[in-house]
Amino acid sequence: MSFLDHIEVLRWHLVRSAIVVVIMAVVLFCYNNIVFDVIIFGPKRPDFITYRVLCKLGHMFLHNDSMCIGVAHYELVNLELSGQFTTHIWISLVGGLILSVPYLVWEVWRFIKPALKLKEKTAARGFVLYASLLFVIGILFSYFVIVPMTVSFLGSYQMSTLVENRISMDSYISLVTTLTLAMGLVFELPILVYFLTKIGLLSPAFMSHYRKHAIVVILIVAAFITPSPDITSQLLVAFPLYLLYEVSILVAKRVDKKKAKTAA
């Protein structure tokens, strides 16, 4: 195929992907009460499932209220005339994008698959499933762990009793969506490591050698993501990230073994 033929094929992949995202966005737009009242604004309610589970775990293992997170009551305000309408459209598109990820990954696979050799196709088997699964796990981890802790801390933080928290709707929604999407992408680390190891830019020996450095970076990231000074909250974030790093090392080792067998 010529370069223009490849561009034409890519164009139709993008068109189909855009159509799916728009369809999902329209569906979410029609169910705004669930999208906003239940999902988006869920972490600001005291009865959110994460707060209840953490409190029960604290009573069960520590026999105190140290893990019970208090959520301060604060108002969300809209400061622009078209703010709620544009936010409704934007969140519908973001939600449509998230729901469409499995299909989008499948379209990416369909585009690159014809260029792969038989061995490469076999090695990349399960790409759509693993990439989609990791993204979903990252989204869920962020929504049920990182977002509630961040929202509860920042929403109740006061530098002075003379200042009342009245948070803009845009600020709250931007925080929730940014953290959620960012963690979904972070959980794609094993997929990234797989391809970097495949082309020789990364090795399991390199990742194992710099494991201690990675742990320090993970702890710093966990402290940054969870602004609460509570060490329990930071460990709840750091442990899954460290586990993800170890899984990436195992993926790199597996790729190295297959490369060694092929060379032999």
Round to whole Å and give the CA distance between 65 and 177.
Answer: 30
pLDDT of residue 158: 80
pLDDT of residue 92: 96
The tens-digit pLDDT sequence of the chain (264 residues) is 666 777 888 888 899 999 999 999 999 999 999 999 999 999 988 889 988 888 888 888 877 777 777 777 788 999 889 999 999 999 999 999 999 999 999 998 888 887 777 766 666 677 888 899 999 999 999 999 888 888 888 888 788 888 888 889 999 999 899 889 988 988 999 988 988 888 888 888 899 989 999 999 888 888 777 666 667 667 778 888 899 999 999 988 888 887 777 665
In angstroms, the Cα distances linking 178 to 71, 94, 146, 172, 215 are 21, 10, 11, 10, 23
In angstroms, the Cα distances linking 170 to 80, 87, 237, 264 are 10, 8, 25, 57
Specify whether 46 is located in the same domain as 156. yes
Specify whether 146 is located in the same domain as 192. no
151: in domain: yes
pLDDT of residue 15: 93
pLDDT of residue 227: 61
Specify whether 57 is located in the same domain as 163. yes
178: in domain: no
pLDDT of residue 126: 78
Specify whether 162 is located in the same domain as 245. no
pLDDT of residue 123: 63
pLDDT of residue 100: 94
Specify whether 221 is located in the same domain as 142. no
The pTM (predicted TM-score) of the whole model is 0.84
pLDDT of residue 29: 96
Specify whether 144 is located in the same domain as 229. no
Where is the domain boundary, 100, 135, 170? 170
Specify whether 123 is located in the same domain as 229. no
Specify whether 131 is located in the same domain as 220. no
Round to whole Å and give the CA distance between 59 and 180.
Answer: 29
Specify whether 80 is located in the same domain as 106. yes
pLDDT of residue 1: 65
Could you list the residue range(s) of the whole structural domain that residue 204 is in?
188-264
What's the structural domain count of the chain?
A: 2
